[in-house]
Chain A
């Protein structure tokens, strides 16, 4: 669970101090699919950095799974990122000339997961992200944009994080591939109960989420759930319940093989 309590962020490195966030508060429950939307310069990137434990707020509290990470040092933040957060970047950021599988295994290296377990978990994460099994050993520069983003999603997924943060994940993709990638996020949320925060400036991308937080000039303008917007409210709540169940099952059995099994069964 994520709790932001009156978060502000002021940058003092420039000639004049600049306040990017002016008191932002919200709560995101486990298993939610949230879009944070706003034009460029609205403070949404700053918010993402704080939510992703890349940066700490100037004032206010950020609680991740009940832990206040607001005043953590660099290495403690790295530890939080390693265990609780998965990133998907606009620019993909795969390691060059490295196979898809190895790219996905990278976070597990830092988490000191056993070698044998690494490959298992990376493979199941790639399959969960809808990546074609035949391309596991292709190098990152031999893959298409859509495939690369699926590898990036699998990499974000592989550590079993509490939260997946996607920063403009469709920004570098054509609209058709973008739809496929967004579909992947939806299915991760619906099928595997993943908590996903999508940062975007496009309304139609944000529409894929169940909840939209609109931010502008460092304050929240709107925080709306999709029940009103969705055509099939009934189906939606049904899926959400299912997602909740799967999610709990995973927490009860956090082992990788169990995870792989649950993916396989689905």
Chain B
């Protein structure tokens, strides 16, 4: 029997029972479309988390101060990040001695009450130098950023984040040249940064940047730094960079036991990896819930095919009597099942695509459909057709023509 004729017979058989074929397909449609939609939501979440991590800079290794101990051997710890062991000199040493470091940007941050005429807010004030924008992906929308000159001369200038600018001067107001007061010191606004969006690790838009030395002298009163941001040339060299920075700082701080280090290092690649593994688990969870409905849909197909074989016993007997052999019969029923699942599969892919597109439209999440999930869903649906169609098809093929013809 020719393939074209089998398809013709399949079409006739399926269209003879449109409602039943449609309902059976619906099971597969729901299964496939939910797999596609769920996986696209999972991947969208992964993408959005990844991009907000990367918005704080790329290929970053961050050095934090370690815990401060009152005296050697003391048991009381005031917690990680509390010690004042990192200095600008450490940052300069990293910059000059480690070739893997593309740029180094030390930073001293703290929260202060900031006031202008009539308005005030409490926000994060970061003492930074001229390398900071390059390392942390910060761009200036108006005015200019802190220059080397500002950093050296202890100028009292400030660059505002757009949210801070809105809070202090009103939305979109021109803030350049105006003055603000941070903890009793007066600063002149010289620039406003571009909006970054992203809420991953605290808004990057609600911040004030001032020269590092100014922050040390006027706000903190000491010359330590709270983070040293070190940027690697590429993501491959990050682990090596982390190791070199560790060794250098251990040597500089005269610590022989690495477990007693008075600083800790956070590698951005690790953060991304952790976040990815969380969203991956999430995607697998969603996908497997959807996968269950796919299996239920497959069982629906098998149920329908078994009913069909019973119903059409006499037809099968007739086909055998006029010369159909076993493979003709089994092919016909198998292809009926495969056509059902594949048509259901295509419809499901389209429906799943529409669902994920609709979710993107609402703006909650930028979903992304991967070719992999489409191929997987389609492969699974074709597989279900073959697996769940095989048994009914075999049953039909092995019917005894004499008994089949007599079947009432």
A93-B405, A110-B1 known; A78 vs B314 contact (CB < 8 Å): no
A95–B322 CB distance below 8 A: no
A87–B328 CB distance below 8 A: no
B325–A79 CB distance below 8 A: yes
What 0/1 readout, one digit per residue, does chain A (175-190) give for beta carbons within 8 Å of chain B?
0000000000000000
Q: How many A-B residue contacts, CB cutoff 8 Å?
A: 67
What 0/1 readout, one digit per residue, does chain A (153-170) give for beta carbons within 8 Å of chain B?
001000100000000000
B401–A75 CB distance below 8 A: no
Closest chain-B Cβ to A27's Cβ sits at a distance in Å of 24
What 0/1 readout, one digit per residue, does chain A (140-160) give for beta carbons within 8 Å of chain B?
000000000000000100010
A47 to B269, CA, bound (A): 82
Residues of B within 8 A of A112 (CB): 1-2
Closest chain-B Cβ to A74's Cβ sits at a distance in Å of 6
B319–A110 CB distance below 8 A: yes
A98 to B12, CA, bound (A): 9
Classify the secondary structure of B's interface with A. helix
Residues of A within 8 A of B326 (CB): 74-75, 78
B323–A107 CB distance below 8 A: yes
Tell whether B402 is near chain A: CB-to-CB under 8 Å: yes
Contact of B324 among A49, A93, A110 (CB under 8 A): A110
Residues of B within 8 A of A81 (CB): 320-323
B12, B318, B327, B402 pick with most chain A CB within 10 angstroms: B318
Contact of B319 among A49, A79, A106 (CB under 8 A): A106
List B residues 365-408 near A (Cβ within 8 Å). 401-402, 405
Contact of A155 among B322, B401, B402, B405 (CB under 8 A): B322
A119 to B402, CA, bound (A): 29
B402–A74 CB distance below 8 A: no
List B residues 308-338 near A (Cβ within 8 Å). 314-315, 317-328
B322–A82 CB distance below 8 A: yes
Tell whether B5 is near chain A: CB-to-CB under 8 Å: yes
What 0/1 readout, one digit per residue, does chain B (1-42) give for beta carbons within 8 Å of chain A?
110010001001000100000000000000000000000000
Residues of B within 8 A of A86 (CB): 322
Closest chain-B Cβ to A68's Cβ sits at a distance in Å of 19
B317, B321, B323, B401 pick with most chain A CB within 10 angstroms: B323
Q: Pull 5 A–B residue pairs with CB atoms less than 8 Å apart, ordered by A.
A: A54-B321, A78-B323, A78-B325, A87-B322, A107-B322
Identify the B interface with A (CB < 8 A): 1-2, 5, 9, 12, 16, 314-315, 317-328, 401-402, 405
